[in-house]
Amino acid sequence: PRLAHTMSSPTSPCEEVIKNLSLEAIQLCDRDGNKSQDSGIAEMEELPVPHNIKISNITCDSFKISWEMDSKSKDRITHYFIDLNKKENKNSNKFKHKDVPTKLVAKAVPLPMTVRGHWFLSPRTEYTVAVQTASKQVDGDYVVSEWSEIIEFCTADYSKVHLTQLLEKAEVIAGRMLKLSVFYRNQHKEYFDYTREHHGNAMQPSVKDNSGSHGSPISGKLEGIFFSCNTEFNTGKPPQDSPYGRYRFEIAAEKLFNPNTNLYFGDFYCMYTAYHYVILVIAPVGSPGDEFCKQRLPQLNIKDNKFLTCDEEGGVMVYHHAQDVILEVIYTDPVDLSLGTVAEITGHQLMSLSTANAKKDPSCKTCNISVGR
């Protein structure tokens, strides 16, 4: 075995951190066995090398890890060293200082061991992980095994619990409700021409892009058609400007949103701006989109919620939308153009308002929750 380097005294700040926390980032040798000159860690072949690593119970900010070990010298193990890194291409970190600590140390607890913490795990992110066993010596030094094999895994999307937290934050700023009468969708003329010629006049659902919260379970998975429903405060009608094209399809609200549809909360985000977006999903009851959302998204009462309501007054359906957020509504079934009208708008095409693949501001206190990054 290699000679151990002398580590800092047991009362050093590093030792205090290790003493007080069960998981903390520390500077260790890398997976290839290279060490910083002052790392104070030696390799001892007598310690068993973890193998057959298994990752389970993966959430957006935690996972369980277990492995097998030979029984030889197993009783000498006091700690586990875990090398957890985002899976990135080879050039992405070429300017990163090589001694930036990326390792975790944990006391040797029974396996499987839970690793959690929003300060180093992000939702829907690919990671690599490798493990060493370690034995802490009386002088504060460590001896360690060789690194295990490297395992790859991906963290999960936000759960309904996390989305409910986002929902509650969105409700705080939704503002008062304004009346609406139509849903509308802006596109280029070519889009509507293609729909008529190749899809029998019916707009087809497509997979949602990756805009919004990084952990959103609908991004890249839910199929639907985006509609808007916000109105101008002074006219009660849709705005004449749009970032998505100069042609607008308008459809009476009751044709998409009624007692035969379910309403779900999908996301809440901003793009480094003062205004915020809320994504809602309207799905015909029992449709594939409805089944998808029922498993993953908080369901809203269509008559009583802070964002978009549908209720009957005097035998007529009346609709309201939140004033202080921009609503993006996803309808999960095809929509025939004959159910509404297509016309050119008179306003400007404001590309700066586009949300296509928009990245959420991770520092905004209004629309972020304490899970992942």
**Statement to judge: residues 296 and 195 lie in one domain:** yes
**pLDDT, tens digit, 9 for 90 and up, residues 109-130:** 989 999 887 557 888 889 999 9
Q: Is 352 among the domain residues? A: no
The DSSP annotation for 334-370 comes to -EEGGGSEEEE-SS---GGG--TTPBP-TT-TTT--S
| CATH code, 97 | 2.60.40.10
DSSP 214: T
Quote the domain boundaries for residue 138: 51-155
Q: Is 243 among the domain residues? A: yes
DSSP 7: P
Q: Is 41 among the domain residues? A: no
CB distance 324 to 174 below 8 Å? yes
Q: Is 276 among the domain residues? A: yes
Of 128, 155, 182, the domain-final residue: 155
**Statement to judge: residues 60 and 81 lie in one domain:** yes
**pLDDT, tens digit, 9 for 90 and up, residues 287-302:** 999 999 999 999 999 9
Strand partners, 143: 42, 135
Say how far apart CA 125 and CA 118 lie, in whole Å: 12
**Statement to judge: residues 182 and 303 lie in one domain:** yes
pLDDT band at 280 (very low <50, low <70, confident <90, very high): very high
Of 110, 135, 155, the domain-final residue: 155
Residues with Cβ within 8 Å of 363's Cβ and at least 6 positions away in sequence, in order, are: none
**Statement to judge: residues 174 and 81 lie in one domain:** no
Q: pLDDT at position 363, please? A: 85
In which element (H, E) is residue 283 found?
A: strand 277-284
Q: Is the pLDDT of residue 13 over 60?
A: no
Q: pLDDT at position 356, please? A: 64
Q: Is 231 among the domain residues? A: yes
Number of domains in the chain: 2
Q: Is 216 among the domain residues? A: yes
pTM: 0.79
3-class SS of residue 139: coil
Q: Is the pLDDT of residue 145 over 70?
A: yes
**Statement to judge: residues 188 and 292 lie in one domain:** yes
Residue type, 128: T
**pLDDT, tens digit, 9 for 90 and up, residues 337-358:** 999 999 988 766 555 555 666 7
Say how far apart CA 134 and CA 224 lie, in whole Å: 51
**Statement to judge: residues 150 and 168 lie in one domain:** no
Q: pLDDT at position 350, please? A: 57
pLDDT band at 29 (very low <50, low <70, confident <90, very high): very low
- Tracing tokens 């500077």 back to the chain, one arrives at 27
The rounded mean pLDDT for the chain is 82
CB distance 212 to 316 below 8 Å? no
**Statement to judge: residues 239 and 217 lie in one domain:** yes
The DSSP annotation for 72-122 comes to TTGGG--EEEEEEEE---TTTTTTS-TTS--EEEEE-PSSSEEEE-TTT--
Q: Distance between alpha carbon 65 and the CA centroid of its chain, in Å?
A: 22
Task: Report the Cα–Cα distance between both ends of the chain, in Å, rounded.
Answer: 40
**Statement to judge: residues 178 and 142 lie in one domain:** no
Which of 148-162, 179-193, 304-318, 356-370 shows the lowest per-residue confidence on average (mean pLDDT)? 356-370
**pLDDT, tens digit, 9 for 90 and up, residues 34-46:** 444 344 444 444 8
Q: Is 215 among the domain residues? A: yes
CB distance 330 to 226 below 8 Å? yes
**Statement to judge: residues 146 and 168 lie in one domain:** no
Structure tokens at 31: 């997976």
Which of 29-33, 173-177, 227-231, 249-253 shows the lowest per-residue confidence on average (mean pLDDT)? 29-33
Q: Is the pLDDT of residue 7 over 70?
A: no
Q: pLDDT at position 218, please? A: 95
**Statement to judge: residues 177 and 276 lie in one domain:** yes
Say how far apart CA 156 and CA 270 lie, in whole Å: 22
**Statement to judge: residues 263 and 187 lie in one domain:** yes
Burial of 351-365, coded b for 16+ CB within 10 Å and e otherwise, reads eebebeebebbeeee
Q: Is the pLDDT of residue 77 over 70?
A: yes
Residues with Cβ within 8 Å of 80's Cβ and at least 6 positions away in sequence, in order, are: 50, 105, 106, 107, 108, 113, 131, 132, 133, 134
Q: pLDDT at position 39, please? A: 45
**Statement to judge: residues 178 and 273 lie in one domain:** yes
Q: Is 28 among the domain residues? A: no
Q: pLDDT at position 5, please? A: 31
